[in-house]
């Protein structure tokens, strides 16, 4: 039994063209290819609880529907978007009664399972544990973050990948040629560039590609021969208002900023500017990107090029002054500067080393000779006694020590061999030689 409704001609094209068998299913050969574990489990009706994880339009719900058609067990589907955990509990309680009475097994498909809170997800545990249900969950979000560990440990996670352009093209062509559920009766004629544009902008999402295809075909006026000729301009117009998938609080947000940061660190200006434009195109807040660049300027470049931080701050000011999209070039200029600057994480390591010392050692009193002495009493008890004013010393360098005695000689900052830090290292070596000569 399944609550999936038969496809109607009035349904969207993506729904009408949904594959009904594994043979028709496109993509995900790593999961459902011949002799693959999931393929064998579906065909033999021997599924255990699983989570389908992948981007939209990659086949999660379609695979669930194929399972519904092949299983001898009761198949029940619900969506966490419009169904509550109460309904899920009722289904699972009935499934447990059936199990105890030796009745038909139950497969429960939960679409958008990550929409259930982590406390709500606890409800599935006893029923999955006892085998009352076989749970099939579908999610676009990373299960590591969105599914509780106890449930995740009881399910096999199958990762679905974005479809390739070749796979989208095959789906595309099938819809154009199909007279019953597809668009063949409308005599569509797409320019190659129009087809390529729609497929590229689908970004591996079959549903998005088919929905756009249907829009351009159905809104194109037939010519005298009843053909609907779709140009690249028609396709571009349909895509203009399309919304790019990008959750600013989700995994893709972190994936893109990670790619951006690592491209900067790896001194790859081509990749860095590409990921910058990907984020801006998807609607990322430029201030978030700028904050990351300011941080990067100190953490990954530091004193190898002190001007990097100035460039990042200037880009921030330019953004506030110009706004978008006028400030795009200022952001790009900063990205290219950071990507091509000499790299050093020595400032970052110095901060870490000093913080560790502060966290893990006794907080010794400030040495007397470098304490301020604004009153007579403080001078009388030895505050500031023995302090040597460096400008009155030879070479403007007194050679005094400034750390507490228990940690004297500690080295937190060690300049690297690149960029301006080469000069800093020369200065530190010079001062160390002078200090050693004074001892």
| Domain final residue pick, 159, 185, 219 | 159
Number of domains in the chain: 4
| Domain final residue pick, 208, 240, 272 | 240
Same-domain pairing of 171 and 154: no
Same-domain pairing of 186 and 318: no
245 in any annotated domain: no
Which CATH number characterizes residue 150's domain? 3.40.50.300
Same-domain pairing of 206 and 311: no
346 in any annotated domain: no
Which residue segment(s) compose the domain that 135 sits in?
A: 13-159
Which CATH number characterizes residue 316's domain? 1.20.272.10
Same-domain pairing of 172 and 307: no
Same-domain pairing of 126 and 57: yes
Same-domain pairing of 180 and 311: no
Same-domain pairing of 50 and 108: yes
Same-domain pairing of 22 and 150: yes
356 in any annotated domain: no
Number of CB atoms found within 10 A of residue 3's CB: 10
Same-domain pairing of 228 and 257: no
| Domain final residue pick, 240, 263, 292 | 240
140 in any annotated domain: yes
Rounded CA separation 260/275 (Å): 5
Same-domain pairing of 428 and 295: no
What string of pLDDT tens digits covers the 439 residues of the chain?
445 554 556 789 999 999 999 999 999 999 999 889 999 999 999 999 999 999 899 999 999 999 999 998 999 999 998 888 899 999 999 999 998 988 888 999 999 999 999 899 999 999 999 999 999 999 988 899 889 999 999 999 999 999 999 999 999 999 999 999 999 999 999 999 999 999 988 889 999 999 999 999 998 999 988 999 999 988 888 887 554 555 555 677 888 999 999 999 999 999 999 999 999 988 888 999 999 999 999 999 999 999 999 999 999 999 999 887 889 999 999 999 999 999 999 999 999 999 999 998 889 999 999 999 999 999 999 999 999 999 998 889 988 889 999 899 899 999 999 999 999 999 999 999 988 887 6
378 in any annotated domain: yes
pTM: 0.68
351 in any annotated domain: no
């Amino acid at each position: 039994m399944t609550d999936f409704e038969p496809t109607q001609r009035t349904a969207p094209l993506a729904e009408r063209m949904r594959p009904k068998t594994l043979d028709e299913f496109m993509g995900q050969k790593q999961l459902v290819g011949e002799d693959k574990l999931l393929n064998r489990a579906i065909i033999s009706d021997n599924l255990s609880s699983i989570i389908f994880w992948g981007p939209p339009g990659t086949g999660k719900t379609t695979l669930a529907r194929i399972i519904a058609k092949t299983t001898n067990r009761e198949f029940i589907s619900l969506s966490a978007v419009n169904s509550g955990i109460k309904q899920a509990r009722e289904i699972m309680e009935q499934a447990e009664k059936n199990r105890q009475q030796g009745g038909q097994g139950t497969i429960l498909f939960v679409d958008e399972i990550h929409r259930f809170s982590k406390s709500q997800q606890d409800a599935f545990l006893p029923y999955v544990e006892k085998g009352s249900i076989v749970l099939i969950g579908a999610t676009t979000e990373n299960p590591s973050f969105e599914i509780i560990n106890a449930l995740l440990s009881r399910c096999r996670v199958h990762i679905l990948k974005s479809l390739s352009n070749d796979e989208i093209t095959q789906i595309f062509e099938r819809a154009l040629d199909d007279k019953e559920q597809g668009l063949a009766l409308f005599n569509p004629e797409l320019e190659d560039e129009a087809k390529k544009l729609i497929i590229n902008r689908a970004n591996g999402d079959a549903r998005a590609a088919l929905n756009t295809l249907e829009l351009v075909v159905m809104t194109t006026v037939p010519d005298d021969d009843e053909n609907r000729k779709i140009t690249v301009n028609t396709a571009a117009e349909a895509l203009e208002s399309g919304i790019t998938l990008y959750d600013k609080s989700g995994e893709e947000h972190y994936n893109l900023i990670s790619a951006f940061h690592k491209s900067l660190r790896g001194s790859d200006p081509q990749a860095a500017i590409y990921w910058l434009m990907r984020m801006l195109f998807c609607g990322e807040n430029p201030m978030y990107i700028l904050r990351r660049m300011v941080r990067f300027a100190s953490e990954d470049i530091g004193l190898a090029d002190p001007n990097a931080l100035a460039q990042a701050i200037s880009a921030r000011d330019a953004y506030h002054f110009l706004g978008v999209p006028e400030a795009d070039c200022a952001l790009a200029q900063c990205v290219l500067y950071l990507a091509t600057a000499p790299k050093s994480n020595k400032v970052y390591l110095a901060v870490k080393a000093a913080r560790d010392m502060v966290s893990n050692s006794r907080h010794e009193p400030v040495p007397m000779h470098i304490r301020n002495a604004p009153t007579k009493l403080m001078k009388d008890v030895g505050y500031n006694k023995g302090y040597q004013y460096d400008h009155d010393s030879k070479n403007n360098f007194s050679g005094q020590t400034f750390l507490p005695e228990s940690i004297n000689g500690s080295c937190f900052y060690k300049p690297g061999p690149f960029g301006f830090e080469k000069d800093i290292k020369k200065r530190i070596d010079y001062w160390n030689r002078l200090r050693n000569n004074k001892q």
